[in-house]
Structure 1
Amino acid sequence: MSVPTPSRPAVARHGWPQALGAVLAGLVSMGVVAALGLWAAGAAELPDHAFPRVVAATVVTAVGGTIELSGNAGGLAESDAGMTVVPLSVTLVGALVLAAGFLRPLRHRAVAGARELAGWAARIAVLWLLALLGLSFAARQTFTLSLDDLGQDELGDLGDLFGISPEVGFTTDVPATLFFGLLWLAGVLVLALLVSRGAPLPGRLLRFQESVRPAAYAMVLLLLAWVGLGVVIGLVVAATRGHVAETFAVILLGLPNLMWLALTLGLGATWNGRVEGPFGLPMPHVLDEVLRGREVAELNLGTLAEYDGRVWWLVVADAVLLLAAAFVMARRSPSRMRAWQHAVHLAVALALTVLMICLVGRIAAHYGLSVLGIGDLGGDLGGELFLRPEVWSAVGLALLWGLVAGFLGGLAARRVRHRGEVVPPAQG
């Protein structure tokens, strides 16, 4: 039996079976969360045994895949629909599980060659693409609607007279799903290497770990803290106000969508949006009040405070959690770093984090049906929902918050011994 020595390092066990285990664990965890969330939302009652296909479509969208909605209402009718929303609860669970599976064979090592890391990541990527291909073909379904159920008697009578049976369905854009799914996987694996202190890096990149890893870890901690806060709030709401199923649907499907939106609002960011018509997407009542009935509404602390003054607590929550993240970042950084360096590191990291939230937190959905001119696309039988950020102002505010919080966190960490730092013995 060979014993590892400094000149003969242990060979990491990360072959195809380990890659398969990591991919399967990620997909199963995402599928379970998506299925439970959709079940709580009532999707298990969909006709034609469509529930498994809807679960597959949810997992596809969670990793950046593209689901295309389609409609066919016959020659005397016109239909239109589309939706873009990422179920970030499913995304977050999948990212955490996949990252853990990727890092597990690499633990207890200080350095790994670039070729070794690339080979391990490539194995996971090949199996991931095959799994996405299977999900893409599974995520396809068509439903037939009854005009009598759409709420207007005239349309029901016309449907019976002309034999109109509208069909709606969804399918997957396979090339786009494979491309964005692979891009998502690459982001998860790179972020896992950046965040984990125990993950080995190629020798040429070791000089960057002192400045990048503590900041990346602090931002992941900040995002998870906001999600944890949302879970506590959701459980309290479910226990005190009822609506248990709806609350758990929000937690299991879209909790990060709401909580990371709240993070940016607490920093002072502005989002623009509109709500018209009924939608099944989870949305707090105060957001619906601000966005409904306007061509384009501004969503920020000022407009929200007109309906509920408690939104100012978002500023307090951001301040407390950012200072905690800054302290953790400084605590994990070398003690020789100065407060202004911590400020710069946190500012850049927070700006990139807010940019990510702005990109993945957008929502766009619309639907419409018109039969012989009765019912207008976007009118009584239509609806629209969109929510998009003012990106660069949000990123600029994140830079300012990061500079202040990073500087204060760096000052506070001076009084605390850093990890790995040896305290010299007392003199005399």
Structure 2
Amino acid sequence: MQQPTPRAAGPSGAVRGWLDALAVVLAGLVAMAAVAALGLWLAGADDLPEGGFPPVLAATMALAVGGSVQLDGAAGGFAAVDAGVTAMPLTVSVVGAVAMAEVFLRQLRFRAVAGGGELLGRIARTVLLWLLALVLITVVAKHTFTVPLGGSLAQTIGNALGLTPQVGFHAEAATTIGIGLAWLLLVLAAVFAVSRRAPLPGALLRYQLAVRPPAFALWAVLLAYLAIGAVVGVVTAIVHGNARQTLAVVLLALPDLAWLAFGLGLGAQWQGRLTGALGLPVPRPLSSVLRAPNGQQATVDLGTLADHDPRSWWLLPVAAVLLLAAAFLAAHRSPRTVRLWQHAVRFALATAVTVLLVGLWTRVDADYGLSVLGVGLGQGGLADLLGTVLGGSNPLAGLGSGSLTLRPVLWTAVPLAAGWGLVTGALGALLAARFRHLGEVPEAGAGTGAEAGR
């Protein structure tokens, strides 16, 4: 009598696939929440009243995947607050992306080729669970704070005017879910473009040698800027003694500043302005440039930054050296059969795409305004009077209006980056020609003298 074939222990293939997708999503959420929570704690958000910390944490995660947060509030029918923030805390984004990529790759380790259907299935399951996570983040990222009126006189005036001050925020569902989905797809695309550990379908294997070396090299450049920025942050914390605030910036917005420095070092420009007192972590030279007279639009580049801090010129040689090193790395990881002009063109395209993404990621739009009976208020005057009535310790005290905008000039930044990539790509290929390329096997006749005499 034939014995039945024993079944393998563990979950079935379908269940296993869902568990793998769940592991990827959970890895990203846990990593993002941990970094965001620590950064917010260092920034003092743990003192928020009325259980406000979890919603603020969820809002930070929504911003980290490209969403937007709307701030609003009201004081009865007398005053209203209108505000919005669209800015990515890129430290949270990068940590979440790296965690998801690592778990995704570990599930595919020890494989050089994977079927297209299998990969699409893995991606589809991960996308579905990620969409559910984004919905949950959007639901949690909503809170309203009741602002207490200070003193008996303020309470009497507030009751007479019908003032019930409230300040709140909520993550906008459309942008958080839509752009958050695009963020995940970009992360997965970067995994296959950068990592050699990511197996590809047989039909795409021919493209990996053209894409992966320059993509990996540019990713190394971005990591190098993060390392430099982290060192600068630690030194700043030690020298200036504001360790908690500085570390909060590092844990929330280090890539925002470091990668902005990369683009500026290549000669790219950003335009924007800063009015009012938003209290956002903006370096002093950048803040000085953005605070143009009469709230006019300002251009941020090496020249305008150097007018306020001559050390800004160092961004140029740092960018040139790191980009040349990346070009050498890309050529070193490519077969020797690749021609010099091919190295140059591929590296130019990779550099242009990198600067395009950096520009989109470092875009900032943050503004708020206080209106009384429909009339907008600036700093001082009636705004300060209302702040005094409400009490100096509450969120509406002294609130007028302000904004911070920072947008890249992509139509010049991208071609400029491509030119840098073309030149450094050619130079890197010339330098790499003197060295053995990665994975290259010496020719049969290149042995020792004793072997040649046999």
TM-score by length of 1: 0.92
Structure 1 letter corresponding to 2:412: S
Looking at structure 1, the residues matched to 349 and 141 of structure 2 have their Cα atoms a distance apart, in angstroms, of: 38
Is the CA contact (8 Å cut-off) linking 2:348 and 2:419 kept in structure 1? Answer: yes
SS at match of 1:171: strand
* Equivalent residue number for residue 197 of structure 1: 196
Looking at structure 1, the residues matched to 190 and 180 of structure 2 have their Cα atoms a distance apart, in angstroms, of: 15
CA offset digits 1:147-167 (Å, max 9, x no partner): 769xxxx99996465142332
Choose the corresponding residue for 2:82, options 70, 73, 80. 80
Is the CA contact (8 Å cut-off) linking 1:350 and 1:402 kept in structure 2? Answer: yes
* Equivalent residue number for residue 164 of structure 1: 163
Is the CA contact (8 Å cut-off) linking 2:77 and 2:373 kept in structure 1? Answer: no
SS at match of 2:49: coil
* Equivalent residue number for residue 371 of structure 1: 372
Structure 1 letter corresponding to 2:118: E
Structure 1 residue 387 corresponds to structure 2 residue 389:
no
* Equivalent residue number for residue 422 of structure 2: 403
* Equivalent residue number for residue 348 of structure 2: 347
1:373 Cα deviation after fit: 7.3
* Equivalent residue number for residue 40 of structure 1: 42
Structure 1 residue 320 corresponds to structure 2 residue 339:
no
Structure 1 residue 118 corresponds to structure 2 residue 120:
yes
CA offset digits 1:309-351 (Å, max 9, x no partner): 1001000110111011111111111111122211111111111
Is the CA contact (8 Å cut-off) linking 2:261 and 2:315 kept in structure 1? Answer: yes
Is the CA contact (8 Å cut-off) linking 1:68 and 1:171 kept in structure 2? Answer: yes
* Equivalent residue number for residue 270 of structure 2: 271
Q: Structure 1: give runs of 5+ residues left out of the alignment.
A: 3-10
Is the CA contact (8 Å cut-off) linking 2:24 and 2:100 kept in structure 1? Answer: yes
Looking at structure 2, the residues matched to 273 and 155 of structure 1 have their Cα atoms a distance apart, in angstroms, of: 39
Looking at structure 2, the residues matched to 129 and 155 of structure 1 have their Cα atoms a distance apart, in angstroms, of: 46
Structure 2 letter corresponding to 1:389: P
Q: Rate the CA distance shift 1:320–1:158 in 2: closer, same or farther, 3 A.
A: farther
Looking at structure 1, the residues matched to 276 and 99 of structure 2 have their Cα atoms a distance apart, in angstroms, of: 37
Q: Rate the CA distance shift 1:180–1:378 in 2: closer, same or farther, 3 A.
A: farther
Is the CA contact (8 Å cut-off) linking 1:14 and 1:120 kept in structure 2? Answer: no
Q: Rate the CA distance shift 1:189–1:60 in 2: closer, same or farther, 3 A.
A: same
1:65 Cα deviation after fit: 2.4
Equivalences for 1:217-256 in 2 at 5 Å?
Answer: 217-256=216-255
Choose the corresponding residue for 1:92, options 85, 88, 94. 94
Structure 1 letter corresponding to 2:244: A
Looking at structure 2, the residues matched to 374 and 122 of structure 1 have their Cα atoms a distance apart, in angstroms, of: 50
Structure 2 letter corresponding to 1:28: V
Q: Rate the CA distance shift 1:80–1:336 in 2: closer, same or farther, 3 A.
A: same
Choose the corresponding residue for 2:441, options 411, 422, 425. 422
Is the CA contact (8 Å cut-off) linking 1:80 and 1:377 kept in structure 2? Answer: no
1:16 Cα deviation after fit: 1.9
Structure 1 residue 52 corresponds to structure 2 residue 54:
yes
Looking at structure 1, the residues matched to 214 and 223 of structure 2 have their Cα atoms a distance apart, in angstroms, of: 14
SS at match of 1:65: coil
1:168 Cα deviation after fit: 2.0
* Equivalent residue number for residue 6 of structure 1: none
* Equivalent residue number for residue 395 of structure 2: none
Looking at structure 1, the residues matched to 336 and 288 of structure 2 have their Cα atoms a distance apart, in angstroms, of: 49
1:219 Cα deviation after fit: 1.3
Structure 2 letter corresponding to 1:188: V
1:293 Cα deviation after fit: 3.8
Equivalences for 1:280-291 in 2 at 5 Å?
Answer: 280-291=279-290
Looking at structure 1, the residues matched to 38 and 288 of structure 2 have their Cα atoms a distance apart, in angstroms, of: 29
SS at match of 2:258: helix
Is the CA contact (8 Å cut-off) linking 2:68 and 2:85 kept in structure 1? Answer: no
SS at match of 1:106: coil
1:75 Cα deviation after fit: 1.9
Structure 2 letter corresponding to 1:250: V
CA offset digits 1:24-58 (Å, max 9, x no partner): 11100100000000111111111111001100111
Structure 1 residue 64 corresponds to structure 2 residue 66:
yes
Equivalences for 1:329-344 in 2 at 5 Å?
Answer: 329-344=330-345
Looking at structure 2, the residues matched to 34 and 266 of structure 1 have their Cα atoms a distance apart, in angstroms, of: 28
Looking at structure 2, the residues matched to 42 and 164 of structure 1 have their Cα atoms a distance apart, in angstroms, of: 28
Looking at structure 2, the residues matched to 338 and 160 of structure 1 have their Cα atoms a distance apart, in angstroms, of: 78
Looking at structure 1, the residues matched to 374 and 68 of structure 2 have their Cα atoms a distance apart, in angstroms, of: 31
Identity %: 53
Structure 2 letter corresponding to 1:299: V
SS at match of 1:367: strand
Looking at structure 1, the residues matched to 181 and 34 of structure 2 have their Cα atoms a distance apart, in angstroms, of: 21
Q: Rate the CA distance shift 1:44–1:30 in 2: closer, same or farther, 3 A.
A: same
Equivalences for 1:5-20 in 2 at 5 Å?
Answer: 15-20=17-22
Q: Structure 2: give runs of 5+ residues left out of the alignment.
A: 7-12, 384-399, 447-451
Is the CA contact (8 Å cut-off) linking 1:72 and 1:168 kept in structure 2? Answer: yes
* Equivalent residue number for residue 108 of structure 2: 106
* Equivalent residue number for residue 304 of structure 2: 303
Q: Rate the CA distance shift 1:363–1:378 in 2: closer, same or farther, 3 A.
A: farther
Give the total of aligned pairs. 416
Looking at structure 2, the residues matched to 243 and 334 of structure 1 have their Cα atoms a distance apart, in angstroms, of: 49
* Equivalent residue number for residue 7 of structure 1: none
CA offset digits 1:169-195 (Å, max 9, x no partner): 111222432222221111111110111
* Equivalent residue number for residue 134 of structure 2: 132
TM-score by length of 2: 0.87
Q: Rate the CA distance shift 1:198–1:277 in 2: closer, same or farther, 3 A.
A: same
1:128 Cα deviation after fit: 1.4
Structure 2 letter corresponding to 1:19: A
Structure 2 letter corresponding to 1:97: A
Is the CA contact (8 Å cut-off) linking 1:261 and 1:361 kept in structure 2? Answer: yes
Looking at structure 1, the residues matched to 379 and 354 of structure 2 have their Cα atoms a distance apart, in angstroms, of: 34
Q: Rate the CA distance shift 1:288–1:159 in 2: closer, same or farther, 3 A.
A: farther
